[in-house]
Chain A
Amino acid sequence: MKKIIMLSLCLLSPTLYAKEITVKVNGMVCSMCAQGIQKKFSKISEVKDIKVDLDTKVVSIVTKDDKDLKDSKIKEIITEAGYNVATIERK
């Protein structure tokens, strides 16, 4: 019984914690123009925190516990902000 409980917890655990998503973005050279990225992601209910780094050209997204954000949604938001997604990585 203990094994079943432990196994269930292990299987469910990835969905119980926040996810950190790292998005490499092309064209992000102007901080004023990139404000749109922060503004758009901040309005998404699944997003807990959003950081834009012009040095690394990376947008770091932290989701709320038990929430996720699909790659298609991330690409849609970045595109609507005027940029291109190079890569998406999840931790």
Chain B
Amino acid sequence: MLIKVVCLLALIFSLPSFSHPVIYKEGTVVSSSNMKSYSDNQLMYSWSNRWASGLNHWRFTKDESNTDLAFLKTNYLLYRYNGEFSQGNIYVHGGFGVADSEIEKRQTNEAYMTGVEMDWETRTLYTSWKYYYFTSPKVTDISMTQARIGFSPYEAGFDQLQSWFMVQVMYMPDVEKEAIITPLLRFFYKNVLWEIGSSTRAEWMLNIMVHY
């Protein structure tokens, strides 16, 4: 019951993903997000405050078999709300590349991805939600919904360590039948962000992101 409530709350209030898909003009983001059932690695360059392009690799693991997807990806900031005490964002994503799957029999083919992502945050509250869809003819179709809700116990200054308590709910019906619920700790200091968590099934999560 508790799990269902947490899951429902996170999906309702949800929002963020790992972090902002588009950062300041001419900024570069390197990120890696890892769990047992998936990994997401990105190198993105923001060529304006609305557009970012780069490389994105995903690996989904089902029954010890991997599906790898590599994309040339573009993120677009569709809408941003800059309030005095909060910020909200809506992003859309698109990419094309190649997929390689060893599930059933080994197959490789062209691949496409699309997605939408929303977040809203203050200095002590954070919510986000995102949906991604990956497809490769005759190889794979994977949809992924991720939601997060979190809070920080204090307002950190510009040059201080910021700490967050969060819960992530990820649902990938093509990879895992049940949603993966992961309480996690987020920290960031200056231009480096890292997260560590463990799902309710005792699967570790380790994420890191650096802005240059």
Contact = CB atoms under 8 A, between A and B. Distances in A.
A binds B: yes
Interface of A: 26-40, 51-55, 57, 79-84, 86
Interface string B192-211: 11000000000000000001
The residue in A52, A55, A80 that gathers the most chain B C-beta atoms within 10 A of its C-beta is A80
A31 B27 contact: no
B104 interface: no
Nearest to B190: A35
Contacts, number: 84
Given A36-B23, A80-B24, A81-B25, A31 B49 contact: no
Interface string B46-83: 00110000000000000000000000000000001111
The list of the 9 closest CB pairs from A to B, nearest first, reads: A27-B82, A36-B24, A80-B25, A81-B24, A26-B82, A27-B87, A84-B82, A32-B188, A52-B158
A52 to B, nearest CB: 5
A32 B211 CA distance: 8
Contact of B159 (A31, A37, A81, A83): A31
Contacts of B49: 79-82
Contacts of B191: 32, 35
Contact of A31 (B86, B87, B156): B156
Contacts of B25: 36, 40, 80-81
Interface of B: 19-20, 22-25, 27, 48-49, 80-87, 121-123, 155-160, 162, 188, 190-193, 211
A28 B155 CA distance: 12
Nearest to B188: A32
A55 B154 CA distance: 12
B157 A29 contact: no
Contacts of B22: 82
A82 B24 contact: yes
A87 B134 CA distance: 44
A83 B20 contact: no
Given A27-B81, A30-B121, 13 more contacts: A29-B87, A30-B87, A30-B123, A31-B157, A32-B192, A53-B157, A53-B158, A54-B156, A80-B48, A81-B24, A82-B22, A82-B23, A82-B24
